[in-house]
Amino acid sequence: MSAILAPICLFVYARADLTQQTVESLLSNPLASASTLHVFCDGPRPGARAKVRAVRDYVRSIRGFAEVVVHEREHNLGLAQSIITGVTQVLRHHDRVIVLEDDLHLSSGFLAFMNQSLQAYAEQPKVLSVSGYAFPIQHGPQQAHDATFGLRASSWGWATWRDRWQQIDWEVRAYPQFRRSPLQRLRFNRGGSDLSHMLDRQMAGKIDSWAIRFCFHQFQHGLVDVFPVRSLVENIGHGEGGQHCQQDVRGWSTRLDTDPPAQFRLPTEVRTDPAVLRQFRSFNSLSARAVRVVRRRLATCKDWLDQRGQTQTQAQAQAPTKTKTPPADSRPSRMGPLGA
- 67-115 tens-digit pLDDT: 999 999 999 999 999 999 999 999 999 999 999 999 999 999 999 999 9
Same domain membership, residue 307 and residue 251: no
Among 148, 151, 141, smallest CA distance to 284 is for: 151
Question: What confidence score (pLDDT) does residue 248 get?
Answer: 42
What's the number of domains the chain is made of?
2
Q: Which residue segment(s) compose the domain that 307 sits in?
A: 287-319
Question: What confidence score (pLDDT) does residue 316 get?
Answer: 62
Question: What confidence score (pLDDT) does residue 315 get?
Answer: 62
Question: What confidence score (pLDDT) does residue 162 get?
Answer: 98
pTM for the predicted model, two decimal places: 0.82
183 lies in a domain?
no
291 lies in a domain?
yes
Question: What confidence score (pLDDT) does residue 319 get?
Answer: 59
Question: What confidence score (pLDDT) does residue 140 get?
Answer: 67
Question: Which of 241, 260, 284 is the last residue before a domain boundary?
Answer: 284
Same domain membership, residue 88 and residue 36: yes
With left for phi above 0 and alpha for psi between -120 and 50, is residue 98 left, alpha or beta?
Answer: beta
177 lies in a domain?
no
DSSP code of 90? Answer: H
Spell out the residues 6+ positions from residue 328 whose beta carbon is closer than 8 angstroms to its own.
Answer: none
46 lies in a domain?
yes
Question: What confidence score (pLDDT) does residue 259 get?
Answer: 93
**Distance between CA atoms of residues 98 and 115, nearest Å:** 8
328 lies in a domain?
no
Same domain membership, residue 15 and residue 148: yes
CATH for 250? 3.90.550.10
25 lies in a domain?
yes
209 lies in a domain?
no
Question: What residues in the chain have per-residue pLDDT under 70?
Answer: 1-3, 140-142, 238-253, 281-300, 302-304, 306, 309-340
178 lies in a domain?
no
DSSP code of 142? Answer: T
First to last CA, the chain: 44
Q: What value, to the nearest 5°, has the Cα angle with vertex 78 and ends 72 and 81?
A: 85
